[in-house]
Copies of this chain bind each other. A is one copy, B any other.
Amino acid sequence: MDTKERIILAGEELFSQRGYDATSVSLICERAGVSKGAFFHYFSSKEEFFLEILDRWLSDLSQKIESYFKEQDKVINGLLRTTIIFEDIFKESKEKFYLFLEFLRKGISDERILKKLGDYFKRYKEYFSLLIERGKREGSFKDIDSEVLSSLIISYSIGIILQQIFDKDSDWGRISREGVNLIISSIKKEDSKL
């Protein structure tokens, strides 16, 4: 594996474990098995390094979500898959969600980060809304506000993952599945077949 990749991998790991501030450049280098010279050869600053990790994460996410929705069947099935998607994306490595938390926290005081996150989630929400609109046209959904519903589903998914951090006893797989079913049952037309 080449040096740059090794540094990035070490950075992702350490940032998600200890956060941005508590992770020193020296530690990243040590973990990656390279010198500080190598780090600053590839990245102009620690801040810039962090942004590169964010970019990688977001484009990775985009790809994954789009591939999920490529499978075109009944919209309602796509929605049913929602939480599975989220579970998959974040739990694939829970690390990744911690990293998300770290991005978010840094975003509070860093407009560049905030914009990147905002743009991404906006696109995601629009994507979702389109899906719901399609469902309405297909005749499977009642006439609900698609923005409200897509926000509801995204919020629910994020919240579920968040709660898993400090509640490790509950069966979150079951809860998330049944939760989505509840949401869907409320927007499904009675006469539409599942």
Contacts and interface: CB of A to CB of B under 8 A. Distances in A.
A167 B158 CA distance: 14
B114 A105 contact: no
> Interface size class for chain A?
35 or more
Contacts of A20: 21
B98 A108 contact: yes
Interface string A102-125: 101111110000100110011001
Contact of A102 (B105, B147, B154, B185): B105
12 contacts: A98-B108, A101-B101, A101-B104, A101-B108, A104-B162, A108-B165, A114-B166, A117-B166, A148-B174, A155-B157, A155-B163, A162-B162
